[in-house]
Chains A and B, each alone.
Chain A
Amino acid sequence: MLIHIIKKLAQMVPLLVGITLISFVVIHLAPGEPTDLQTEMNPEASTELKERLRTEYGLDKPLLVQYGTWVKRLVQLDFGRSFSQDRRPVWDKIIERLPITLLINLLSMGLIILTAVPLGIAAAVKRDSWFDRITTLLVFAGFAAPSFWLALLLMDWLGVYLGVVPVSGVKSFGYEYLSRVEQVLDVAHHLILPVFISAIGGVAGFSRYMRSNMLEVIRQDYILTARAKGLSERVVIGKHALRNALLPLITILGLAVPGLIGGSVIFESIFAIPGMGKLFYDGVMMRDYPLIMGILVIGAVMTLAGNMLADVGYALADPRIRRR
């Protein structure tokens, strides 16, 4: 088992180099440079400034040399300074936005699992019943509705018309005057809508997935055996079927790990949440290479780590895999 893990870890190194090298080259191939955007189309900007900035940022050197410099800094865990006008360390920019994105993603992931699993099982067990049909319909409606549209409708209804939840943002103005408990409540209050909206598509997809897993498991011989033994339906479903149907969940959760640090630009813009999605999007639009690379590296590491967790999790949960 341990050897298995070490082997996996060793494989990650060349993979990581490959991922960063490709991303580095690709973002530099995109037309436009950070210096263009800071100096271009500004009647007062001089062209010298642009040359000076290029030298300062090292953009005048060959691409591979730039990559070398970047890697050298990275191994010392230095992500460099942003090319945008604030020139702050990339790490600072990422770390101030990470918590809120993580929080929303974790909450919404929790909400998805808590609602989608029972929903999927119930739909599978009562296959073709009215309950199954109605959930199918609702779930597809939820899946099909554009989330920005749903978000705006709910903001208008709950936020403006009824005034029961805040329209946008994550904290009230005057937050710092609140007590600890009030602060937690305040943030929770602000997150009701965003978490609900970000979970809704996931619930739809996930419950369908759960339902089809369950249906497949129910058809297996060992379920037939369990029933033949005269076990109650409750034990058959709750114990024998459910545990097997949950197996693929491990893969999905593993794959979802890198998603935890990602955010959607549209979603964050609509709710005015200062998260990772907007940071990354603005970075790309400004061609802020160090920032883009910083986020990509973290994403790559989390993807690899997530895959590995899924592998290990599977091995722990499923003896068939462990034996191989």
Chain B
Amino acid sequence: MKPGIFAIHPAMGALRLLPGLLPRLVLILFLTLGVNGCRENRTTAVESDTDTAVAYGDTIIMGTIGDATNLLAPLASDASSSAIIGHVYNGLIRYDKDMRLVGDLAESWDVSADGREITFHLRRGVTWHDGEPFTAADVMFTYRLMIDPKTPTAYADRYKQVEHASTPDPYTFKVRYAEPLAPALVSWAMGICPAHLLAGEDITTSALARSPIGTGPFRFVKWEPGERIVLERNEDYFGGAPYIKRIVYSIVPDTTTMFLELQSGGLDYMGLTPLQYARQTDTPAFSRRFNKFRYPAFVYTYLGYNLRKPMFQDKRVRQAISYAIDKQEIVDGVLLGLGQPATGPYKPGSWPYNPDVQRYLYAPDKARALLDAAGWKSSGTDKIRQKEGQKLAFTIVTNQGNDQRIKAGEIIQRRLQEVGIEVKLRVIEWASFLKEFIQPGNFDATILGWTIPVDPDGYNIWHSSKTGAQELNFIAYCNPEVDRLLEQGRRVLDIEQRKPIYYKLQQILAEDVPYTFLYVPDALPVVARRFHGIKEAPAGIMYNFEKWYVPQSQQKYER
């Protein structure tokens, strides 16, 4: 997979629905009454699975819930824009199917012995979509753009750590860091911008934001705002021209409509909701026309405690709550079983994931014992526990627009009541939620989600220096050992050496429970059956999109 940048947006939860990294797909409308622009091969389009020979051609129509906003890699941070950018641009490096870094525009790279200097050896003979050659000057330009104070990018920080950047020759790019920085390498997966088109331009008003020119496997064709974005294959792509001729991203803001559109044949790809996956697609008619996929998404949902509140400062209370919540019940109830309980901030099965941590399986008796030990006792007739005249009661806040979080909150509310904790649930519109509750630390507990970054560095979320008003450690978690591990983890580049550090980090988080990790949902994409060559891997299914193809006899769109 090849996202232009790694937008790490829990905000997706608010306005869009779910996972961050994978593009969301679907919709377009086709047409029926004989009025049909791209003539369909109606007679042959149906699925004889016998012909599987690789062939060029056909169009894939993918649905997306939201329109893209900006197609310049440094300025985009939403999922829809990132998906398009991933097809149009290349980074120096990218992730392969196993989420390992491999060369992209860089053929290879060396890291110096002290880990401070990275030398990228760029591919020769690569051209931009307008025919100009790609060189190290473009990389240098992109780097300068990222650190330019006038560029309103959210991603400047990592590039500012660069002490010195140079281009010894047109096909070599060198960066030196003040200190070794593990997430630094990943930052070069961001889309490289064309210097010859952007130099001297005001990037915020550049025409390229609406009609990008990159080096990627697909070139931009047109954007009809609010309706669709069309891309066509780049015949000169250095990785070999993709088989599929055209991608159409169609914007359908409603998932129910998207599903109807899919069934009517107007869409070839969409991300299903758990309900659609489990209850509405198990018919022979559906499986004759579509292939469903299922794998863990790169997101997790958690219950976070505001550690400034005296009630939550006692670790035993947090542990007790974790025992009182039945995570499997939430997975079954909210995701219809299409997900798994989370145990920490990493994706199960990925390299930093530590499977051997305290899991807090549902055990209400342990919860009661822990609460008793912490001094919260229920007296006589009142079921709600008290300590020094104060009730054990708190409010969980979450954002509007994400039903899964709200349902999870309701289940938690009932389970905690059973062990004598009174919980109120408040749902607030996203902007107000951030401004009035999260930023000023004005909440008891919150249900939110994070996208799981590919690099395990969680410095901004867990480090005690990141508890300021605008910062991401908004629960004010502070543990000197965690701080030390985080600092150490980002300074080591070797995976085998980093592993024990992040294993240990997960153990401490499981013991401390600053969050109760709730669940990792599954991504549930569905693709029209005529598309072949799709291979599910840890990275999902989109990583080898250029290799998807439709056998000649099954192609649907001639033009």
Q: Please name all residues of chain B whose beta carbon is closer than 8 Å to the beta carbon of A256 when the two chains form the complex.
A: none
**Interface code A220-255, partner B: CB below 8 Å = 1, 0 otherwise?**
000000000000000000000000000000000000
Contact B431 A87 (CB under 8 A): no
- Are A278 and B261 neighbours in the complex by a CB distance under 8 Å? no
Q: Does A128 contact B (CB under 8 A)?
A: no
Contact A272 B257, beta carbon cutoff 8 Å: yes
Taking a contact as CB atoms under 8 Å apart, the answer to whether B35 and A86 are in contact is no
Q: Which residues of A contact B (CB under 8 A)?
A: 30-33, 36-50, 52-53, 56, 84-88, 93, 96-97, 152, 155-156, 159-160, 163-178, 182, 185-186, 189-190, 268-272, 274-275, 278-279, 282, 285-287
Which of B154, B210, B224, B254 contacts A39, CB < 8 Å? B154
Select which of B37, B253, B453 is within 8 A of A176 by beta carbon: B37
> Judging by beta carbons under 8 Å apart, are A152 and B256 in contact?
yes
Chain B residues 11-38 with CB under 8 Å of chain A are 11, 15, 27-33, 35-38
Report 16 cross-chain contacts, Cβ distance below 8 Å, ordered by A residue: A31-B436, A32-B431, A41-B434, A41-B472, A44-B8, A49-B153, A156-B260, A164-B32, A167-B29, A167-B264, A168-B252, A169-B27, A177-B559, A271-B257, A274-B227, A286-B431
Closest Cβ of chain A to B520, distance in Å, is: 18
Q: For A159, give its contact among B226, B253, B260 (CB under 8 Å).
A: B260
Q: Give a binary string over B191-213; 1 marks a CB under 8 Å from any A CB, 0 the rest.
A: 00000000000001100011000
Verify if B471 is at the interface (C-beta below 8 Å from A).
yes
* B263: A residues at CB distance < 8 A: 160
Measured in the bound complex, the distance between the Cα atoms of B127 and A140 in whole Å is 64
Dominant secondary structure of chain B at its interface with chain A: loop
- Chain B positions within 8 Å of A39 at CB level: 154, 470
A-B pairs with lowest CB-CB distance, top 10: A174-B37, A274-B226, A32-B431, A174-B38, A45-B154, A177-B37, A169-B29, A269-B253, A85-B69, A31-B435
Q: Count B interface residues, CB 8 Å.
A: 78
User: A43 and B38 in contact (CB under 8 A), knowing A32-B435, A152-B260, A168-B29?
Assistant: no
Residues of B within 8 A of A186 (CB): 31, 35
B residues adjacent to A (C-beta < 8 A)? 6-11, 15, 27-33, 35-38, 59, 61, 67, 69-70, 75-78, 81, 149, 152-158, 204-205, 209-210, 224-228, 248, 250-254, 256-257, 260-261, 263-264, 266, 429-432, 434-436, 438-439, 450, 453, 458, 460-461, 468, 470-472, 557, 559
- Kindly list chain A residues whose C-beta atoms are within 8 Å of the C-beta of B559: 174, 177
Which of A45, A159, A178, A287 gathers most chain B CB within 10 Å? A45
Q: Are A272 and B38 in contact (CB under 8 A)?
A: no
- A-B pairs with CB below 8 Å: how many? 216
Contact assessment for A173 and B152 in the assembled complex, using a CB-CB cutoff below 8 Å: no
Contacts of A45 in B (CB 8 A): 154-155, 157
Please tell me if the beta carbons of B158 and A44 are within 8 angstroms of each other in the complex: yes
Q: How far is the CB of B458 from chain A (nearest CB, A)?
A: 8
Q: For the complex formed, measure the closest distance between the CB of A24 and the CB atoms of chain B, giving whole angstroms.
A: 17
Within the complex, what minimum Cβ distance (angstroms) separates B7 from chain A?
7
Centre residue among B7, B15, B210, B470 by max chain A CB count within 10 A: B470
Complexed CA–CA distance, A159 and B156 (Å): 47
Given contacts A49-B153, A166-B266, A173-B59, 6 further A-B contacts (CB under 8 A): A38-B154, A50-B470, A152-B257, A155-B260, A270-B254, A272-B261
**A172 touches which one: B30, B76, B158 (CB < 8 A)?**
B30
Which of A30, A48, A175 is most buried by chain B, counting CB atoms within 10 A of its CB? Answer: A175
**Given that A33-B435, A84-B69 are known contacts, is A274 also in contact with B37, CB under 8 Å in the complex?**
no
Residues in A with CB closer than 8 Å to B460 are: 43-44
Q: Are B227 and A49 in contact (CB under 8 A)?
A: no
Partner of A166, one of B30, B205, B471: B30
A163 and B152 form a contact (CB under 8 A) = no
Query: For residue A179, which residue of chain B has the nearest CB?
Result: B35
Assuming the contacts A85-B70, A174-B37, A176-B37, asked whether A40 and B251 have C-beta atoms less than 8 A apart, the reply is no
Contact A169 B11 (CB under 8 A): no
Chain A nearest CB from B61 CB (Å) reads 7
User: Which of A31, A44, A52, A87 is within 8 Å of B432, CB to CB?
Assistant: A31
A169 touches B250 (CB 8 A): yes
Bound-state Cα–Cα, A122 to B17, Å: 49
A172 touches B36 (CB 8 A): yes
A285 to B460, CA, bound (A): 26
Cβ-defined contact, A189 with B33, below 8 A = yes
